[in-house]
Amino acid sequence: MTDQTKYTLSENDMPKQWYNVNADMPVAPAPILNPQTQEPVTPDFLSVLFPMELIMQEVSTDQYIDIPEEIQEIYKLYRPTPLMRARRLEKLLDTPAHIYYKYEGVSPAGSHKPNTAIAQAFYNKAEGTKAIVTETGAGQWGSALSMACKMFDMPLEVYMVNISYQQKPYRRIFMETFGADVYASPSNRTQFGKSLLAEDPNHSGSLGIAISEAVEVAATSGGEKKYSLGSVLGHVLTHQSIIGEEAIKQMDLAGEYPDVVIGCIGGGSNFAGIAYPFLRENIRNGQKTRLLAVEPQATPSLTKGKYAFDYGDSAKMAPIVKMHTLGHSFVPAPIHAGGLRYHGMSPSICALYDAGYIEAISVPQLSTFEAAIQFAQSEGILPAPESAHAIRAAIDEALDAKVKGEKRVIVFNLSGHGHFDLSAYEAYLAGSLQDYEYPEEKINAALADLPQVSLEPA
């Protein structure tokens, strides 16, 4: 062990392959279903939405996938990212635990999302896609993809949840600076959007609706435009594995190995990014690291959702997957961690959670911001409200270790900074932020609306 604070890798030490968890899955996730036929999807169906290379990665069982050099070159703008020892936070908590965090906020867009945005823009460009269409909630995914698309001269259309479009003009301006066309969703550019606006011209929108609009635009473009998703799908999780692969090397430099690895969880990509390489070590090399996913109490998909087949979007156009879901019609409370408000969850994470390979907890909004402030004031980084969920859990682990007198080694993923989320901090500091009860009735109502899928996996 050393007394270093920052563990950095040289560019040459940057991993040259992504890790694909499909190779090591101890439990098979259920097949992805066509939303119309409810039969397993065919590559033909998916190829309307995605370039072939990403479809192949989705179903690949190769343990490693080479990162093309063009992608490595752009990764080098911000990778390898640092692994930090949170010494000042440890001191503040007076804990025997060692706390490390992997900091993805150093990317140009301020979060882990460019790790897959760059890859997706690259593969689309390579296969001749004319434009990419996507949705964004709070704006982080749209920001990452607009930056990535500009680097490959790829036009981008973004459907941004209306309420965020109104409340977060800076995110929209960020995307427009990189040349993206940003539309408030629901919009009058799609059939689905028009139908919703006819009912309510001031519809506040939701992530599920914005996904439907983006999917509709891609599906009706005659093959010119492809759709891109920033989380949930297997290929997205694979691209994020570079976080954990770097972290393993950096923990090696620190001379320690984690007892617990923590990530916040919305669709699952930053959590899987840091956790899956450690899962591989658990499965293949007998390590015993606990893998802990942290979600908001207001959108508790893993801890309270039903493990069932459900649509990925509101208009039932996106594929049906088996996941822990709150129901595709569930509209979450307006918590500030916008990136954690999706109704579902990545299928591989759900299968692993169901089989006991992953732990999950949910935490309330107020104590999450308390943790964010403690972290900011000791470590100097103002975290994204999403990432603050991981901080809350890391602090609780460190306090538990203190009570038990254990030297626990804790690693968490700091998925992004919160420089675009200052209105959330303003509300917290003014005392106007609130907790939301677990929305049991709303979830039960939405769960009544799940598709009746007869096919059950063997």
Contact footprint for ligand PLP (CB under 6 A): 111, 113, 140, 231, 264-271, 339-340, 384, 386-387, 415-416
Under 8 Å between Cβ of 385 and 368: yes
Rounded CA gap, 251 and 234, in Å? 26
Counting every residue written for the chain, the total comes to 458
- Closest contact distance (angstroms) between CB of 164 and ligand PLP is 12
At residue 12, φ and ψ (nearest 5 deg) are -65, -25
- Closest contact distance (angstroms) between CB of 17 and ligand PLP is 21
Under 8 Å between Cβ of 182 and 153: no
Amino acid at 95: T
- Closest contact distance (angstroms) between CB of 339 and ligand PLP is 3
Q: In terms of CB distance, is 310 or 386 closer to ligand PLP?
A: 386
Residue of minimal CB distance from ligand PLP? 416
Peptide bond into 186 cis (omega under 30): yes
Rounded CA gap, 139 and 285, in Å? 39
Q: In terms of CB distance, is 81 or 190 closer to ligand PLP?
A: 81
Longest dimension (CA), the chain: 63
Rounded CA gap, 407 and 402, in Å? 8
Q: In terms of CB distance, is 45 or 353 closer to ligand PLP?
A: 353
Q: In terms of CB distance, is 254 or 344 closer to ligand PLP?
A: 344
Residue 35 burial (CB count, 10 A): 18
Q: In terms of CB distance, is 80 or 338 closer to ligand PLP?
A: 338
Strand order of the sheet with strand 260-264? 6-7, 83-85, 98-103, 409-414, 260-264, 290-296, 359-363
- Closest contact distance (angstroms) between CB of 74 and ligand PLP is 18
- Closest contact distance (angstroms) between CB of 270 and ligand PLP is 3
Q: In terms of CB distance, is 29 or 268 closer to ligand PLP?
A: 268
Rounded CA gap, 333 and 282, in Å? 36
Q: In terms of CB distance, is 45 or 271 closer to ligand PLP?
A: 271
Under 8 Å between Cβ of 325 and 301: yes
> Considering only CA atoms, which of 82, 21, 27, 68 is closest in space to residue 237?
21
- Closest contact distance (angstroms) between CB of 365 and ligand PLP is 15
Q: In terms of CB distance, is 219 or 391 closer to ligand PLP?
A: 391
Q: In terms of CB distance, is 111 or 190 closer to ligand PLP?
A: 111
- Closest contact distance (angstroms) between CB of 405 and ligand PLP is 33
Tell how strand 156-161 and strand 181-185 pair up. parallel
Spatial CB neighbours of 101, under 8 Å, sequence gap ≥ 6: 83, 84, 86, 379, 394, 411, 412, 413, 414
- Closest contact distance (angstroms) between CB of 107 and ligand PLP is 10
Under 8 Å between Cβ of 390 and 397: no
- Closest contact distance (angstroms) between CB of 208 and ligand PLP is 15
Q: Could you give the dihedral angle defined by the CA atoms of residues 447, 436, 186 and 383, in that order, rounded to the nearest 10 degrees?
A: -120
- Closest contact distance (angstroms) between CB of 189 and ligand PLP is 24
Q: In terms of CB distance, is 231 or 282 closer to ligand PLP?
A: 231
Give the SS3 label for residue 17: strand
